[in-house]
Amino acid sequence: MQDIKEIWKQAVAAALTELAQQNGIVDIIRAEQVVVEIPPKPELGDLGIPMFPFAKVLRKGPPQIAQAVAERLSSSGNAQWGTVAAEGPYVNIRLEKAAVTKQILQAVLEHPEDFERPQSLKNRKIMVEFSSPNTNKPLHLGHLRNDVLGESISRILAACGAEVRKVCIINDRGIHICKSMLAYKEFGQGKTPESEGVKSDRFVGDWYVRFHKMSQEDPSAEERAQELLRKWEQGDAETVSLWKQMNSWAVEGIKKTYERTGVSFDQYYFESQTYLKGKEEVLKGLEQGFFYREEDGSVWVDLTADGLDKKVLLRKDGTSLYITQDIGTAIFRHHDWPFERLVYVVGSEQQYHFKVLFKVLEKLGYDWAKNLYHLSYGMVNLPEGKMKSREGTVVDADDLIDSLKAMALQEIKEKNREEAVGDGESVAEKIAVGALHYYLLQVSPTKDMLFNPRESLSFNGNTGPYLQYMGARISSMLRKKAGSLAESGSVKPELLSDEAEWALVKTLSQYPETVSLAASQMDPSIIAAYLYELSKAFSRFYHDCPILNAESADLAATRLALSKAVLEVLKSAMNLVCIPFLDVM
Ligand code: ARG
């Protein structure tokens, strides 16, 4: 759809260009150069456009320019969209409510796909890596933030027209998994997730915790785990077979959690399949003189000239490190799907790692290395305190969702809504996921945060359930439409004259640019904040303006159409931040 702001930007740019030409200046002023603001006071109009940026080119004072632009626009073909006035250095525009409302309702209700999908990233190929668990333990609260960030950003980028490929690296190799394996070997022979009645990833994680206990009592445990890693690298059959078994338990369980939260991937990469490629590349770089060998045999890169440090790329015994596999993984990924950009959603504690990784790939001659981007996010903890996986005090993802679900179910029962909602279990699960996701995304990715389960579930506040409730409320109203006054009326946008209606229309009109902004900033909290604004604007409208009982059939039909448009945008935006939609609640 032709965005209202866009229409004005173009009109202002055209007026400025004309003005320039009249004064013998050849510069062309483009719509992108025009900034649209919201005036501080509503009396000033709906949009305000500062003229400061053009003073230099036009060799005139901003107020003079504003005057000339306003005059021009007042007599141009844009009169149907609003009235224009100069106010100091600003060109202020008061939008023509009926025309704008008509346009928005049409755009949202008749071509929702176009409206909800601004094409700001059309055909860009963007790969997004997220979650990327280790296979020695189940997902925890930190992963939940990572998962929803990655999934949400992928959806937002795709909404802007990008071709998105979601990938995950499963770190299935290394000392961590050998630790779980060792504890299992010594204490768990014969036991299985089924025999113990435990979710399979948890089963593996429990052995990791057990290893930690073991190693406190027996200092040789660390060495024995290292020995297991060496055996694995040598392809020892028994070790490899145990490794396969434990990994498949871990991965199977982890995938169940993804399913539960609505997270999915287009491709999984496994460290065990990429680390040798990384090793090969490091050795190639050594031959070519980009890297050097220390006396003990280890291979290093010296990045001091790039403002970084020296970093080991292969251990003295030739075994690979965390970074080694990342080199191989990135190369495979670009080969499989030549991306324009690869975004790594990984915690802020790995900032240095990614700086080094990107530089190393650049040194190896991969020119696409400059298109790699680390989307770093902050820590998340519970109000009770810090999580430590070795000590088993980590907040397990499934447990957390289970407890949110139990609280939601209790709320449904207390409100006597069991019958109304139908399948209480499934509704409670969706409320739990909605509460969790919204709470995690509401904060900008870079900030550390606390997750407060109670607060996340509150029905009246800035929460996921509040948004779900808003959706259910509108849905229920639309179901009641049959036989109501609204059914016999027709939609007449000029009837909407209340301030609350106008505020709602304006909020709706901001959706496409909000999605583009969230994509360019890679920040889902922008969509979360928009959702809250939209819900507040709808609440005010719902409170101030009777809908099904409006004064006339036409007004009822028009207000209902507006509500329908809100529902459409609400659903679309909720999907972008991974909040399940509910028809009844
Ligand atoms: N599995 C790693 C960890 O738990 C995170 C992997 C991040 N992604 C990457 N390409 N290095 O710390």
Q: Fill in the DSSP letter of residue 308.
A: S
Amino acid at 224: R
Distance CA(188)–CA(228), nearest Å, equals 16
Determine the pLDDT at residue 4.
81
Determine the pLDDT at residue 43.
87
Q: Are 190 and 205 in contact (CB under 8 A)?
A: no
Whose Cα sits closest to atom 11 in ligand 1? 326
pLDDT tens across 362-377, in order?
999 999 999 999 999 9
CA of 346 to the centre of ligand 1 (A): 7
Distance CA(160)–CA(512), nearest Å, equals 9
CA of 171 to the centre of ligand 1 (A): 7
Whose Cα sits closest to atom 10 in ligand 1? 326
Write down the domain spans for the chain.
4-95, 130-381, 403-576
Mean pLDDT (whole number) for 280-297? 97
Determine the pLDDT at residue 81.
85
Q: Which residue intervals of 288-423 are DSSP H helices? A: 322-336, 351-363, 397-414, 418-421
For a mutational test of ligand 1's pocket, the pick from 171, 172, 267, 373, i.e. the residue with the most ligand atoms closer than 8 A to its C-beta, is: 171
Mean pLDDT (whole number) for 46-72? 95
- For residue 165, the number of C-alpha atoms closer than 13 Å in the C-beta half-sphere is 18
Residue 228 vs residue 381, higher pLDDT: 228
Question: Over 60: is that where the pLDDT of 1 sits?
Answer: no
| Pair of tokens at residue 396 | 């397990």
CA of 89 to the centre of ligand 1 (A): 51
pLDDT over 90 percentage in the chain: 89
- Residue 194 CB: number of other CB atoms within 10 A? 9
For a mutational test of ligand 1's pocket, the pick from 346, 352, 394, i.e. the residue with the most ligand atoms closer than 8 A to its C-beta, is: 346
- Residue 30 CB: number of other CB atoms within 10 A? 12
Question: Over 90: is that where the pLDDT of 106 sits?
Answer: yes
Distance CA(100)–CA(413), nearest Å, equals 44
Determine the pLDDT at residue 390.
54
Distance CA(61)–CA(52), nearest Å, equals 8
Distance CA(97)–CA(100), nearest Å, equals 5
Burial of 262 (0-12, 13-18, 19+ CB in 10 A): middle
pLDDT tens across 91-103, in order?
999 999 999 999 9
Q: What is the length of the chain?
A: 585
pLDDT tens across 24-45, in order?
998 899 999 999 999 988 889 9
| pTM for this model (two decimals) | 0.94
Question: Over 70: is that where the pLDDT of 53 sits?
Answer: yes
For domain 4-95, say whether CATH 3.30.1360.70 is its number. Answer: yes
335 Cβ contact partners less than 8 Å away, ≥ 6 residues apart: none
Mean pLDDT (whole number) for 196-205? 97
CA of 132 to the centre of ligand 1 (A): 5
Pairing of strands 82-87, 47-50: unpaired
Q: Which of 389, 583, 393 is nearest to 475 (CA)?
A: 583
352 Cβ contact partners less than 8 Å away, ≥ 6 residues apart: 308
> Band of the pLDDT at 494, cuts 50, 70, 90?
very high
> Band of the pLDDT at 460, cuts 50, 70, 90?
confident
Q: Which of 327-341, 385-399, 414-428 is predicted with the least confidence, judged by mean pLDDT?
A: 385-399
Q: Which residue intervals of 191-316 are DSSP H helices? A: 193-196, 200-217, 220-233, 237-261, 271-287
Q: Which of 145, 207, 220, 131 is nearest to 176 (CA)?
A: 207
pLDDT tens across 429-440, in order?
999 999 999 999
Determine the pLDDT at residue 391.
56
Architecture of the domain spanning 403-576: Orthogonal Bundle (1.10)
Mean pLDDT (whole number) for 259-287? 97
For a mutational test of ligand 1's pocket, the pick from 135, 147, 169, i.e. the residue with the most ligand atoms closer than 8 A to its C-beta, is: 169
Question: Which protein residues touch ligand 1 with a CB less than 6 Å away?
Answer: 129, 132-134, 169, 171, 326, 344, 346
Distance CA(248)–CA(575), nearest Å, equals 31
> Band of the pLDDT at 350, cuts 50, 70, 90?
very high
For a mutational test of ligand 1's pocket, the pick from 350, 375, 379, i.e. the residue with the most ligand atoms closer than 8 A to its C-beta, is: 350
E strands, 99-182, are 125-129, 163-170
pLDDT tens across 529-548, in order?
999 999 999 999 999 999 99
Distance CA(24)–CA(555), nearest Å, equals 52
> Band of the pLDDT at 394, cuts 50, 70, 90?
confident
Atom of ligand 1 nearest to the CA of 133: 1
pLDDT over 70 percentage in the chain: 98
Q: Which of 386, 377, 392 is nearest to 525 (CA)?
A: 377
Mean pLDDT estimate for the chain: 94
CATH topology for 130-381 is Rossmann fold (3.40.50)
Give strand pairing partners of 382.
385
Determine the pLDDT at residue 408.
96
Distance CA(21)–CA(34), nearest Å, equals 18
